Amino acid sequence: MQSTLPLQLNPTQGIQELPRTVAGKAFLAIGATALVALCAHVSLPLYFTPVPLTLQTLAVILVGLTLGPGLGCSAMVLYLAEGAMGLPVFSPQGPGGIAQLLGPTAGFLFSYPIAAAVAGSVVRVVPVSRSQFPVAVLAGIAASVVIFSMGAGWIATLLHLSPAAAWHLSVAPFLPGEALKIIAAAAAYVALRRWRRRF
């Protein structure tokens, strides 16, 4: 009989508490999409760019850190599928549905599965000396590089912009906020690890 108990924590691999059952993993993936959707609705439009300021990237990084590369990536693919079906999971600043997956922010959206996989991989591969926090920050930075590269690349292609123009439109204004989101996601991940060790 297959056990449904959580896996044990491994200090070199991060949180491995995911249930062994398919239903348990599906529940976590759906929960992750709900978190990203909630953060997408914390949205502030900016007059100088089609990219709104949201908390989505914080949620994507945290999902990758906590669920790992495989399940984190799968959860973000599910998130995109939910949006494509018309569920209100994307930022309300866009048209929603398939149109949002073809618009100016599509590059950011399609980067989420890869970014979650990168964050989950880095935090599990990089050796940990004492604190997991610096490694989690490094993982968040790596994930953000993926997000901004794909987001800016898509905008440059769609709007026929130079690399410099795409940088100023879709990367530079968001870097201070992204730094805060990376720190917040890393802190939440470390706090969750500590909480899990108590049980």
Domain that holds residue 37: 22-197
* 12, part of any domain: no
Span 65-85, average pLDDT: 96
8 A C-beta contact, residue 148 and residue 170: yes
Q: Count how many domains the chain has.
A: 1
* 1, part of any domain: no
Residue 171: what pLDDT?
A: 97
* 138, part of any domain: yes
* 7, part of any domain: no
Backbone torsion region of residue 83, taken as left when φ is above 0, otherwise alpha when ψ lies between -120 and 50, otherwise beta: alpha
Average pLDDT, the chain: 89
> In whole angstroms, what separates CA 120 from the centre of its chain?
10
10-61: pLDDT as tens digits: 443 444 444 568 888 899 999 999 999 999 999 999 999 999 999 999 999 9
Which ranges of the chain does DSSP label H, i.e. alpha helix?
Answer: 22-40, 56-84, 97-100, 106-125, 133-159, 163-170, 175-197
Give the angle subtended at the CA of 128 by the CAs of 175 and 146, to the nearest 5°.
30
pTM of the shown model: 0.87
* 82, part of any domain: yes
* 95, part of any domain: yes
Read off the CATH number of the domain in which 100 is found.
1.10.1760.20
Cα 56 to Cα 116: distance, rounded to the nearest angstrom: 12
First-to-last C-alpha distance (Å) of the chain:
24
* 16, part of any domain: no
